[in-house]
């Protein structure tokens, strides 16, 4: 039974397109996160939602917009995709005291 | 500001040898500390965590880590490495009301047969 799931696993698209990545967790956590992992494996937090409320919004271009319809879902929409957006995007679900559980990742390739 | 330093970018050990991966953190209060492992093409799996109490914590897959406040360290150890342990290892520090985690840049572990 998957705890944190993401779709799609792979996403290949052209510059200028708009795309979305979906995330769902069945752990009953109140907090969810989006991370970006670059080609050097560096992980950087992008957003966090607690009970559908945005609580972390790091320096991310406005083209990235998270949406949380309920506390079990956190989606990421990206407008006008650029080459530099190519990365692996991870969703995570937060337990107590910063403990986080990660999804399998979505590898985004922008051509 | 919180930060994590993993001094070793890449470590190679022989199968059956012992392992220690280093992690130093910077945090203004009592930190919550974590080690995650990422196998190629996979997500991050939580190996172990430290919140409080006993400074030696046990995790999954035979890993342990020791919290040393005086050295601001949280090193990961395993007495005997298996080939399946080859992966990227990330140390992370967290805390605060927003539960933000800050990750180190990772240490890539290669295991020789």
Query: Span B94-106, mean pLDDT?
Result: 83
The residue with greater pLDDT, B39 or A58, is: B39
Residue B95's region, left for phi above 0, alpha for psi from -120 to 50, else beta, is: left
The residue with greater pLDDT, A25 or A57, is: A25
A101 close contact with B: CB closer than 8 A: yes
pLDDT for the residue B96: 67
Rg of chain A over Cα atoms, rounded to whole angstroms, equals 13
Measure CB to CB from residue A56 to each of B43, B45, B100 and give the nearest one: B100
Q: How far does B103 lie from chain A, in Å, by closest CA?
A: 6
pLDDT for the residue A50: 87
pLDDT for the residue B1: 78
Q: Which residues of A touch B106 (CB under 8 A)?
A: 41-43
Contact across the interface for A102 and B90, Cβ inside 8 Å: no
- Give the C-alpha distances (Å, rounded to integers) separating A40 from A93, B47, B92, B103, B104: 23, 21, 17, 13, 12
Measure CB to CB from residue A99 to each of B38, B49, B103 and give the nearest one: B49
Q: How far does A88 lie from chain B, in Å, by closest CA?
A: 10
pLDDT for the residue B97: 66
For A47-80, letters b (16+ CB in 10 Å) and e give bbbbeeeeebeeeeeeebebebeebbbbbbebee
Measure CB to CB from residue B99 to each of A40, A43, A98 and give the nearest one: A98
Q: How many residues does chain B have?
A: 113
Q: What is the mean pLDDT of chain A?
A: 92
Distance separating alpha carbons of residues B96 and B5, to the nearest angstrom: 20
Does residue A71 register a pLDDT over 70? Answer: yes
Model confidence over A5-54: pLDDT tens digits? 999 999 999 999 999 999 999 999 989 999 999 999 999 999 998 888 88
Model confidence over B52-91: pLDDT tens digits? 888 999 999 999 999 999 999 999 999 999 999 999 999 9
Q: Which residue of B has its CA nearest to A90?
A: B43
CB pairs under 8 A between A and B: 62
Q: Which residues of B touch A42 (CB under 8 A)?
A: 103, 105-106
Band of pLDDT at residue B28, cut at 50, 70 and 90:
confident
pLDDT for the residue A57: 85
B8 close contact with A: CB closer than 8 A: no
pLDDT for the residue A35: 95
């Amino acid at each position: 039974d998957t705890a944190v799931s993401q779709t799609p696993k792979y996403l290949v698209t052209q510059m200028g397109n708009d795309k979305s990545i979906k995330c769902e967790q069945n752990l009953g956590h109140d907090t969810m996160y989006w991370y970006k992992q670059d080609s050097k494996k560096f992980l950087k937090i992008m957003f966090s939602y607690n009970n559908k409320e945005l609580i972390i919004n790091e320096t991310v271009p406005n083209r990235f917009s998270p949406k949380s319809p309920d506390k079990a879902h956190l989606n990421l929409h990206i407008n006008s995709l650029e080459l530099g957006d190519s990365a692996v995007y991870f969703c995570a679900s937060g337990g107590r005291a910063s403990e986080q559980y990660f999804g399998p990742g979505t590898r985004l390739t922008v051509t | 500001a919180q930060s994590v330093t993993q001094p070793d970018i890449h470590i190679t050990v022989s199968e059956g040898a012992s392992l220690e991966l280093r992690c130093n953190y910077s945090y203004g209060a009592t930190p919550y500390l974590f080690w995650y492992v990422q196998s190629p093409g996979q997500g991050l799996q939580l190996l172990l965590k430290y919140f409080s109490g006993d400074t030696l914590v046990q995790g999954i897959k035979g890993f342990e880590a020791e919290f040393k406040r005086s050295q601001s360290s949280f090193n990961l150890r395993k007495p005997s490495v298996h080939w399946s342990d080859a992966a990227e290892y990330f140390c992370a520090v967290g805390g605060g009301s927003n539960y933000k985690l800050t990750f180190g840049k990772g240490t890539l572990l290669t295991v020789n047969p």
